[in-house]
Chains A and B, each alone.
Chain A
Amino acid sequence: FGQIQARFFIPPGGGANFFIGSWVEYISGKVFFTTCSDLNMLKKLKSAERLFLLIKKQFPLNVSSVSKGKIFNEMQRLVNDDPESWLSAISIWKNLLELDAKEDKLSQRDANPLKRKVEENDIINPKKLKTKQMQELQESRECQLEKQTDEATVEQGDFLTNREKSQEAFQNDAVKAVAAPNQKDLTFRVSCRCSGSVAKTFTAQEVGRVIGIALMKQFGWKADLRNPNLEIFIHLNDIYSVVGIPVFRVPLASRAYIKTAGLRSTIAWAMASLAEIKAGAFVLDPMCGLGTILLEAAKEWPDVYYVGADVSDSQLLGACDNLKAAGLQDKIELLKVSVIELPLPSESVDIIISDIPFGKKKKYSCRLPFFVRVLRVGGTIVLLLSEDHHRRLQDCERGGIPWNSKGSHTDEPGIEKCLNPGEKTDLSDTVSSSAETSGQGDLDKMPPFGSLVPVDRYGVSLGRTGAFICRYRKSPSSAASRLAAVSRFQSSQGSCTALKAVVSGSR
């Protein structure tokens, strides 16, 4: 479960541009929108955790000065006030799934899926279906795109407990799930999430039970907790009451092409998207772990040179596995190397994207300047930083202290300008004066290459913890360009002849 700020959805030229929809609104981790896209398109949404078809969205329940019984009545009204909206939503959901199942069958049957699909589609005339869908959708039925929010009051455990407890209540009525052609024969399960003041008054189980009983009474459906036809998702908090149907059984965040995910794929994709990867770019992840970020990026922006580096054998093996499983081994190169000694030429990399390992060890944030060296001027860095790391960097930026400081705020005037864009400061002064505070060997000779200009940052939720995606750009500085000229190594004669030899040799 994770929360991503809506700004990722407004594509910076990135992945969501295939997505045809109109924004309705963004509230607290959920994005509500209307769309005419079919499931195939919706499946491609990359920065969303889950997708729901909206049944109801309305004002939050007032739990303050009213009796519990009255609030239960309010909840029942979610079902009873407008049963039509439930039935239409369910019929749309069925249509979506049927259409999707047909397309799946077609593509499975085919030797040449693309060609056959077009022909078959003509026969079935899905255009008609789609028009109908659009009409229904436009009659103010909204598809709800949901990123699960992490409001601390509700544990994931609640979600499961809800099912268990409801199981006791509904044991007598539970039936085996059957694909029900008729709405009357639907089996269902209610999943409920409460947060804010609602959660203080009710448990998710109580709410689930009330809604479940109301549904049974209203529509005659049977409850099935193991394998229902239909899942109903309810989220009650201080901002809204939302009811929806999960569109896919498997969350969007779970990718078919990723064997073992490290970082959650939605965040990895969002980071890659923010990096504005262009064709022909050289993209580096200097702490790639299992390679999740590179996988998401290579999947979406394939005509790019990707390199992942890590010090851990087991992580690199896992990354290798992941690459093979995704069919991306030709797109992503791996190196076993440390961030502090990247064996790459200065200013050779266009984009760096990395999930900085969390934890209290300051060494990780202190390593950042090392990979700044390999980044070209004007290049972009997108990092996932823990709240700690982020705070430290903010302190550095505010106090004008370069990142290699251990957080002591020295107020030497020269340092002030260190991280400001456009200022031609001699960085070598600032580095030597702050390095003494660190006490770590690497830092004493920190290469002062360029200055990083913060572009923007986004708070994200990783479930139990929060983090920040921070984007920086490398700006030129006079000290940096001098030093870069010195350290960028010259090719020796050897390299050119070697290449020529291989070219002619391979004939």
Chain B
Amino acid sequence: MKLLTHNLLSSHVRGVGPRGFPLRLQATEVRINPVEFNPDFVARMIPKLHLVEVPKGPIEGYEHDEKFLRQMHHVLLEVDVLEGTLQCPESGRLFPISRGIPNMLLSDEETET
């Protein structure tokens, strides 16, 4: 699971709503994969992220800031969590990550309908 994905996941446990984000990540096995740097792609992913209070000023023109884009590229795309857990910050429910795949299946009682 890449950190880009982690940034987009939230808990759907019943009753949790918007407080189900962000999931607390505890990684027990992480791999750093070199991934070809594509500045355009990274720049396009950034608006999708859930970042709070994007400050004006330094972030404007981020699409052209190669240093920043490379940092984001490394963090979002090159860090791969193979084993670990994601935890719903509100309910405490743990979701295991195994072989890089987070398991977020909820039981019927837990399901937020």
Contacts and interface: CB of A to CB of B under 8 A. Distances in A.
Interface of A: 279-280, 282, 303, 305, 307, 311, 316-317, 320, 330, 333-338, 340-345, 348, 441-442, 444-445, 487-496, 498-499, 502-503, 506
23 contacts: A280-B44, A303-B38, A305-B4, A316-B101, A320-B99, A320-B101, A333-B5, A335-B102, A336-B103, A337-B103, A341-B112, A342-B12, A343-B9, A343-B12, A344-B9, A348-B8, A442-B113, A489-B17, A489-B18, A492-B22, A498-B22, A502-B79, A503-B72
Contacts of B1: 333
Interface string B42-53: 011100111111
Given A335-B9, A499-B75, 16 more contacts: A280-B40, A280-B41, A280-B44, A280-B45, A311-B105, A330-B33, A330-B77, A335-B5, A341-B106, A345-B21, A348-B8, A444-B113, A445-B113, A495-B21, A495-B51, A503-B75
Contacts of A492: 19, 21-22, 52, 89
Contact of B102 (A336, A444, A445): A336
B94 interface: no
A340 B77 CA distance: 27
B102 A487 contact: no
B18 A490 contact: yes
Contacts of B77: 330
Nearest to B103: A336
A489 B52 contact: no
A125 to B, nearest CB: 35
Given A335-B104, A343-B12, A444-B113, A489 B20 contact: yes
B40 A502 contact: no
B18 to A, nearest CB: 3
A52 B33 CA distance: 42
A334 B101 contact: yes
A363 B22 CA distance: 30
A314 to B, nearest CB: 13
A493 B105 contact: no
Contacts of A317: 99
Nearest to A334: B101
Contact of A493 (B52, B74, B111): B52
Given A335-B102, A338-B105, A348 B48 contact: yes
B16 to A, nearest CB: 10
A487 B112 CA distance: 13
A506 B75 CA distance: 8
Given A491-B22, A506-B74, A303 B52 contact: no
Given A333-B1, A340-B111, A506-B74, A499 B51 contact: yes
A343 B52 contact: no
A289 to B, nearest CB: 14
B15 to A, nearest CB: 13
A317 B48 CA distance: 28
B81 to A, nearest CB: 11
Contacts of A343: 9-12, 20, 104
Q: Which of B9, B11, B17, B113 is the most central at the interface, judged by chain A CB atoms within 10 Å of its CB?
A: B113
Contacts of B52: 490-493, 495-496
Interface in B1-37: 1-5, 7-12, 17-22, 25, 33, 35
Contact of A341 (B100, B101, B111): B111
Contacts of B11: 343
B71 interface: yes
Nearest to A446: B113
B48 A334 contact: no
Contacts of B44: 279-280
Contacts of A330: 33, 35, 77
A311 B107 CA distance: 12
Nearest to A370: B113
Given A489-B17, A489-B20, A344 B99 contact: no
B22 A495 contact: yes
Q: Which of A279, A303, A316, A499 is the most central at the interface, judged by chain B CB atoms within 10 Å of its CB?
A: A499
Nearest to A340: B111
Contacts of A493: 52
A280 B43 CA distance: 8
Given A330-B33, A491-B52, A441 B113 contact: yes
Given A336-B104, A441-B113, A492-B21, A345 B8 contact: yes
A345 B50 contact: yes
Contacts of B103: 336-337
A341 B38 CA distance: 32
Given A279-B44, A333-B2, A345-B8, A489 B21 contact: yes
B48 A502 contact: no
Contacts of B4: 305, 333
B99 A279 contact: no
Which 5 pairs across A and B sit closest by C-beta, in order of nearness? A280-B44, A489-B18, A491-B50, A336-B103, A341-B12
